[in-house]
Amino acid sequence: MDSTNTNEVAHDFPPFIRVYKDGRVERLLGTETIPPTTDPITGVQSKDIIISQEPGVSARIYLPKITTNSTQKLPLLIYIHGGAFCIESPFSPHYHNHLNLLVSQANVVAVSIHYRRAPEHPLPIAYDDTWEAMQWAFSHKNSGGPEAWLNEHADFDRVFLAGDSAGATIAHNMVRRVGVDGLEGVKIVGIILVHPYFGNNEPSKFLDFIFPTSTGPDDHRIYPAGDSELSRLGCTKVLVFVAEKDGLNDRGKSYHEVLKKSGWDGTVEIVETEGEDHVFHLFNPNCDKADDLVKRMASFIKDN
């Protein structure tokens, strides 16, 4: 008789995931989803698209309210959600509502990427999926791609990347890859990193678990502070947000300082929100400080 207890826990990383010995993964947060809509307040439209069946990469695309028959091209925002690389999605109410607001205020077309998540798909798979999704978006640069909203409305000379927490980490890595490997026909103007989740000198069992092939503190994909190629970052503007009570506050500040001293030929700015914790703007979007953060993000895009 098999006495194996299927509820026996192999790995427990609250408040994110619990992995059982039979291989099941329980996500403790970030599982709720809502469908795409036309937002009644902002007029922003959204729809879901499949980028690749194998591997399974998809996205939610957003289009701001546009005057009928308008031919104006709008900046393109590539958004990468957070969630410790293992929870949340573009279809989460937090991210859907955040993108509706940001797209409306910044007047951008946005592609919010759904990458495969750890631990079923360990890092760097999320990085690879995000890169593939970006290449799909950029295939529309000559108005010949499969998605009409991108063909008709996206300006590929004004592309921005943004992400929060783990998504900010991925966003940085994507723009680094652009700088090192090159990218033809598309101009990445800037990136917005909200409360980035970079590694530091302290051991992390969680990072070891979700990124088993990482080489540790010398791995630029998690630890940009020691990256010899940081000066080749493929944009000219960077905006970093940190929150005073966030346990990752020092990592965002360290990134800001290291980037300034790297020899990178660009401008980096940092904004600290007093009295707030990690990604507060997603969980309390109606507070004044969340409103200020979104306005600052929008201004960064509109002014560059």
Q: Which residues are catalytic?
A: 165, 246, 278
What pLDDT does 62 receive?
A: 98
Residues 269-273: what's their mean pLDDT? 98
Nearest to 285 by CA among 15, 104, 48: 104
What pLDDT does 4 receive?
A: 56
How would you class 14 by CB atoms within 10 Å of its CB: exposed for 0-12, middle for 13-18, buried for 19 or more?
Answer: exposed
The long-range contacts involving 148-153, CB below 8 angstroms and separated by at least 24 positions, are: 149/47, 149/61, 149/63, 149/109, 150/61, 150/76, 150/109, 150/111, 153/63, 153/66, 153/72, 153/73, 153/74, 153/109
For the question of whether the overall pTM of this predicted structure is more than 0.85, the answer is yes
The long-range contacts involving 133-141, CB below 8 angstroms and separated by at least 24 positions, are: 133/51, 133/57, 133/59, 133/78, 134/78, 134/174, 136/51, 136/52, 136/57, 137/76, 137/78, 137/111, 138/183, 138/185, 138/186, 141/185, 141/186
Percent of the chain with pLDDT over 70: 98
pLDDT tens-digit series, residues 161-173: 999 999 999 999 9
Paired tokens of 98: 């955040």
| Average pLDDT value over all residues in the chain | 96
What pLDDT does 145 receive?
A: 96
Report the 10 Å Cβ neighbour count for 9. Answer: 11
What pLDDT does 68 receive?
A: 65
pLDDT tens-digit series, residues 98-123: 999 999 999 999 999 999 999 999 99
Partnered with residue 154 across adjacent β-strands are 74
Report the 10 Å Cβ neighbour count for 232. Answer: 18
Check: CB of residue 168 under 8 Å from CB of residue 283.
no
Judged against a pLDDT cut of 70, whether residue 3 lies above it is answered with no
What pLDDT does 1 receive?
A: 36
pLDDT tens-digit series, residues 32-70: 999 999 999 999 999 999 999 988 999 999 999 987 667
Band (287; pLDDT cuts 50, 70, 90): very high
Q: State residue 146 phi and psi, 5-degree precision.
A: -80, -10
Partnered with residue 238 across adjacent β-strands are 191, 268
Judged against a pLDDT cut of 90, whether residue 240 lies above it is answered with yes
What pLDDT does 6 receive?
A: 74
What pLDDT does 5 receive?
A: 66
Residues with Cβ within 8 Å of 303's Cβ and at least 6 positions away in sequence, in order, are none
Judged against a pLDDT cut of 50, whether residue 243 lies above it is answered with yes
What pLDDT does 50 receive?
A: 97
Q: State residue 163 phi and psi, 5-degree precision.
A: -165, 160
Nearest to 149 by CA among 34, 64, 52, 57: 64
Q: State residue 72 phi and psi, 5-degree precision.
A: -65, 130
Judged against a pLDDT cut of 60, whether residue 2 lies above it is answered with no
pLDDT tens-digit series, residues 64-88: 998 766 778 999 999 999 999 999 9
How would you class 203 by CB atoms within 10 Å of its CB: exposed for 0-12, middle for 13-18, buried for 19 or more?
Answer: exposed
What pLDDT does 72 receive?
A: 85
